[in-house]
């Protein structure tokens, strides 16, 4: 979408001289890939997420794909995931020939309803891909119970949830392998990039091999012990990531403040539903700020007004099963996941980023009120 120079952008990274310095050091070191900066970045992310091991990859999507490979997902398997997510949550296993089974979401959390997941299990189910949508932790314990009961793999798509906490512990620390993503609209960025956290040393070694063309531990450059990929993160991006993870606590606190200010500014607008607040079991890591417009509102009119005012927005998120390629390939249509579809038709992402100031937020709130 187009936004004027003077407008309020939808998102933006939070960077300073520290990242410049770290990137410059790598450039001057001559070790631009497969160097020590990657290991350092991985250790920092592992420590922050409370996972023993982390493997950096080229994106959140490639991290998810690798976990589908390590879970042994193959052609004809069914994998249960949420319709209310980014397409990669389902694409990651379709790459392996698996079939998506969408479990509808809980209207309040916008994450998969664990009862819908349990009901969707069949003898062909191989795995569950659980998403922490908009940084709000999913019902991990219930999903784990379902996975354990039926012998399924559980993959955490936590691409939007770095720093979130479920039942008092950081996402990544609970046990299932998790993926975090670092596209520039995320809490922290490496430009493009992602990371997989795991509690298994064996899986970690496998991930490092798979991301690096299937090379083995022996270190032979031209020895490929398995079918691998080039899903590596390079050292330049890892340096950027180090600068970012160093400020993660500050970033999360600032984003929390931005969200709280929106809460104050938007509370008075009739019929607009604000993001679910935290509770004892769920502490959100703020990724985006998505509101639900009143059911009788015309979202496209609101968007037209935002465009006139130079205010960023996005129609977060369409339901995955209704994407053109999903309809075509799997025959999905309206009515499959009514809760997700209802939310998709009413949700709107407002400008949200770490350095977003009160004045800009007031403009957004005024524009929304005026449009409605
Ligand atoms: C829930 C979710 N899963 C997966 C991804 C994919 O991450 P990437 O864009 O780094 O491939 C994203 C990123 O937007 C996401 O939000």
User: Which pLDDT tens digit goes with each residue over 306-315?
Assistant: 999 999 999 9
Question: Residues with beta carbon inside 6 Å of ligand 1?
Answer: 59-61, 85-86, 88-89, 131, 157, 159-160, 181, 183, 194
User: Which residues, other chains included, contact 300 with Cβ-Cβ below 8 Å and sequence gap of 6+?
Assistant: none
Going by C-alpha positions, the residue among 59, 86, 313, 279 that lies closest to residue 165 is: 279
pLDDT tens readout for residues 12-42? 999 999 999 999 999 999 999 999 999 999 9
Atom index in ligand 1 nearest the CA of residue 183 equals: 10
Give the per-residue pLDDT at 357: 97
Confidence of residue 217 (pLDDT cuts 50, 70, 90): confident
- Most confident segment among 3-17, 220-234, 322-336: 322-336
Average pLDDT on 294-321 reads: 97
State in Å: Cα 11 to ligand 1 middle.
Answer: 15
- Pocket probe for ligand 1: among 13, 181, 186, the residue whose CB has the most ligand atoms within 8 Å is 181
Atom index in ligand 1 nearest the CA of residue 192 equals: 10
Average pLDDT on 209-217 reads: 94
**Atom 8 (ligand 1) nearest CA:** 60
State in Å: Cα 159 to ligand 1 middle.
Answer: 5
- Pocket probe for ligand 1: among 58, 59, 60, the residue whose CB has the most ligand atoms within 8 Å is 60
The dihedral through the CA atoms of 361, 363, 365, 368 has a sign that is negative
State in Å: Cα 270 to ligand 1 middle.
Answer: 32
State in Å: Cα 60 to ligand 1 middle.
Answer: 5
pLDDT tens readout for residues 154-202? 999 999 999 999 999 999 999 999 999 999 999 999 999 999 999 999 9
Atom index in ligand 1 nearest the CA of residue 185 equals: 14
Calpha distance 180→157 (Å, rounded): 7
Residue 6 has pLDDT above 90, yes or no: no
State in Å: Cα 196 to ligand 1 middle.
Answer: 13
Give the per-residue pLDDT at 5: 52
Calpha distance 8→307 (Å, rounded): 10
> How do strand 153-157 and strand 125-131 relate by DSSP bridges?
parallel
For the chain, the average pLDDT equals 97
Calpha distance 289→263 (Å, rounded): 10
Atom index in ligand 1 nearest the CA of residue 160 equals: 16
The DSSP call for residue 186 is S
| Tokens found for residue 246 | 């160093």
| Tokens found for residue 324 | 């053109």
Residue 80 has pLDDT above 90, yes or no: yes
What whole-number percentage of the chain has pLDDT above 70? 99
Residues in the chain: 372
Tell me the catalytic residues: 186
Atom index in ligand 1 nearest the CA of residue 89 equals: 3
**Atom 4 (ligand 1) nearest CA:** 88
Give the per-residue pLDDT at 3: 44
- Pocket probe for ligand 1: among 62, 88, 229, 314, the residue whose CB has the most ligand atoms within 8 Å is 88
Confidence of residue 84 (pLDDT cuts 50, 70, 90): very high
**Atom 14 (ligand 1) nearest CA:** 86
Give the per-residue pLDDT at 109: 98
State in Å: Cα 352 to ligand 1 middle.
Answer: 17
- Order of strands, sheet of 282-283, starting from the edge strand that comes earlier in the sequence: 169-170, 165-166, 282-283
> How do strand 178-181 and strand 153-157 relate by DSSP bridges?
parallel
């Amino acid at each position: 979408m187009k936004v004027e120079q003077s407008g309020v952008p939808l998102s933006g990274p939070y960077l300073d001289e520290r990242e410049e310095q770290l990137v410059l050091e790598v450039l001057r070191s001559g070790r631009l890939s497969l160097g020590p900066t990657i290991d350092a970045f991985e250790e920092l992310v592992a420590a922050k997420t409370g996972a023993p091991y982390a493997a950096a990859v080229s994106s959140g999507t490639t991290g998810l794909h690798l976990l589908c490979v390590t879970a042994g997902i193959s052609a004809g398997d069914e994998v249960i995931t949420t319709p209310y997510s980014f397409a990669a949550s389902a694409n990651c296993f379709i790459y392996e020939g698996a079939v998506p089974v969408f479990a509808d979401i809980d209207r309040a959390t916008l994450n998969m309803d664990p009862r819908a997941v349990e009901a969707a299990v069949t003898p062909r189910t191989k795995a569950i891909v659980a998403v922490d949508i908009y940084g709000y932790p999913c019902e991990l314990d219930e999903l784990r119970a379902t996975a354990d009961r039926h012998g399924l793999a559980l993959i955490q798509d936590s691409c939007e949830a770095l720093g979130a906490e479920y039942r008092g512990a950081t996402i990544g620390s609970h046990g299932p392998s998790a993926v975090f993503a670092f596209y520039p609209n995320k809490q922290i960025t490496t430009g493009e990039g992602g990371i997989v956290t795991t509690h298994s040393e064996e899986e970690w070694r496998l991930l490092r091999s798979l991301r690096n063309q299937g090379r083995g531990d022996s270190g032979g450059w031209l020895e490929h012990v398995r079918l691998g990929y080039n899903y590596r993160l390079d050292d330049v991006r890892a340096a950027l990531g180090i600068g970012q993870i160093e400020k993660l606590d500050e970033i999360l606190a600032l984003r929390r403040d931005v969200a709280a200010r929106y809460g104050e500014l938007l509370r008075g607008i009739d019929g607009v539903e604000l993001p679910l607040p935290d509770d004892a079991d769920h502490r959100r890591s703020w990724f985006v700020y998505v509101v639900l417009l009143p059911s009788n509102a015309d979202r496209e009119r609101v968007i037209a007004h935002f465009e006139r005012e130079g205010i960023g927005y996005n129609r977060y998120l369409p339901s995955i099963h209704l994407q053109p390629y999903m309809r075509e390939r799997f025959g999905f249509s309206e009515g499959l996941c009514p809760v997700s579809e209802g939310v998709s038709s009413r949700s709107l992402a407002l400008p949200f980023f770490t350095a977003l100031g009160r004045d800009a937020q007031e403009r957004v709130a005024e524009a929304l009120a005026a449009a409605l």
